[in-house]
């Protein structure tokens, strides 16, 4: 069986990269719902519906024993409902994991300095899931701030993320956080690691930047060590299959911005 990696589009590749660096031996299936991306401004109902379709496809057609929602918006809006209501009725022996809980665990484990700020899509910020998961694990309660940065995803996908206009927009988004002298900044959107150097420059050296990808990869490794019954079912062919709900020249161009080696992307339908 395989490990599924689901994202609204290409951003999840930043998470896949960290997972594959740590555990290259498994057989992965990356599914990008590019036809319906971005998810960041969609309603919770739609994100749950689209994520359920993606996970269902990965479990039914691609024999995924577990699926990682490598998307903050899907993890924030859909993970809980799918884990509690949908999975037990349809695939009781499979698992779905998100990326927010491993990040909150990492923040607790590393005793990340407060104030802690989380930047992400409007959906992720509106869900308040980062705050809820950090509050469960860190005591005393750290000061938490959030900031939606909706213009960063299109800038990155257009390849403008190192440009002067991009720097102006980053400064505008981050100014309120800088003014509050935050000490830790969580990149709560899968695209943002591509802008990490600029974000670091704008925030200065005293702010620690957390990219959830590494935390997710380490948490998955620990999970597989603890769940031997799942791990032993996994195929070890050191391979990645690429699926997308739309494949155009633009899809390929954006993919190549996130993943340097070219891939054969297969178009699939989730509807
Ligand atoms: N993958 C999404 C996330 O991490 C960003 C792109 C989108 O809005 O779909 O929230």
What's the CA gap between 117 and 134, in Å, rounded? 11
Q: What angle do CA 9, 258, 162 make, to 5 degrees?
A: 110
Nearest CA to ligand 1 atom 6: 38
38 close to ligand 1 (CB < 6 Angstrom): yes
pLDDT tens across 234-265, in order? Answer: 999 999 999 999 999 999 999 998 998 878 99
User: Mean pLDDT across the stretch 219-231?
Assistant: 98
Closest by CA to 37, choosing from 146, 260, 189, is: 189
Rounded to the nearest angstrom, the distance between the alpha carbon of 8 and the centre of ligand 1 is 6
**Could you identify the atom of ligand 1 that is nearest to the CA of residue 12?**
1
pLDDT tens across 16-56, in order? Answer: 999 999 999 999 999 999 999 999 999 999 999 999 999 99
Please report which residue ranges of 23-118 form alpha helices under DSSP H: 44-60, 72-77, 79-81, 87-90, 100-109
Closest by CA to 31, choosing from 246, 189, 216, 259, is: 246
Nearest CA to ligand 1 atom 7: 38
Instruction: State the catalytic residue, choosing from 31, 71, 118, 199.
Output: 71
- What is the pLDDT at residue 261? 83
Closest by CA to 220, choosing from 21, 8, 1, 11, is: 21
Q: From residue 48, give the alpha-carbon distance in Å to each of 42, 115, 246, 255.
A: 10, 31, 20, 24
Taken as a whole, the chain contains a residue count of 271
Verify whether residue 71 is a known catalytic residue: yes
pLDDT tens across 54-106, in order? Answer: 999 999 999 999 999 999 999 999 999 999 999 999 999 999 999 999 999 99
Using 50, 70 and 90 to split pLDDT, how confident is the model at 128?
very high
Rounded to the nearest angstrom, the distance between the alpha carbon of 189 and the centre of ligand 1 is 6
Verify whether residue 64 is a known catalytic residue: no
> What is the pTM (predicted TM-score) of this model?
0.97
73 close to ligand 1 (CB < 6 Angstrom): yes
Residue 264: Cβ within 10 Å count = 7
Place of tokens 């589009």: 9
124 close to ligand 1 (CB < 6 Angstrom): yes
Rounded to the nearest angstrom, the distance between the alpha carbon of 246 and the centre of ligand 1 is 16
- What is the pLDDT at residue 68? 98
């Amino acid at each position: 069986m395989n490990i599924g990696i689901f994202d609204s589009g290409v951003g999840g590749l930043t998470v896949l990269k960290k997972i594959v660096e740590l555990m290259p031996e498994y057989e992965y299936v990356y599914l990008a719902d590019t036809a319906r991306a971005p998810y960041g401004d969609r309603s919770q109902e739609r994100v749950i519906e689209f994520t359920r379709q993606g996970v269902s496809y990965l479990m039914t057609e691609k024999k995924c024993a577990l699926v990682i929602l490598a998307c903050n918006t899907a993890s924030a809006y859909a993970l809980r409902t799918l884990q509690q209501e949908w999975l037990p009725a349809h695939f009781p022996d499979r698992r779905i994991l998100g990326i927010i809980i491993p990040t909150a665990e990492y923040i607790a484990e590393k005793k990340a300095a407060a104030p802690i700020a989380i930047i992400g899509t409007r959906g992720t910020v509106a869900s308040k899931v980062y705050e809820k998961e950090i509050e469960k694990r860190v005591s005393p309660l750290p000061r938490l701030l959030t900031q939606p940065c909706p213009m960063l995803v299109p800038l990155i996908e257009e390849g403008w993320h190192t440009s002067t206009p991009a720097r102006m927009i980053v400064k505008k988004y981050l100014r309120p956080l800088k003014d509050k002298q935050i000490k830790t900044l969580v990149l709560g959107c899968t695209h943002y690691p591509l802008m990490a150097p600029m974000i670091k420059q704008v925030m200065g050296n005293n702010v620690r930047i957390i990219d959830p990808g590494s935390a997710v990869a380490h948490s998955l490794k620990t999970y597989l060590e603890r769940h031997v019954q799942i791990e032993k079912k996994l195929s070890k062919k050191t391979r990645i299959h690429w699926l997308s709900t739309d494949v155009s020249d633009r899809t390929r161009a954006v993919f190549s911005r996130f993943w340097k080696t070219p891939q054969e992307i297969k178009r699939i339908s989730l509807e």
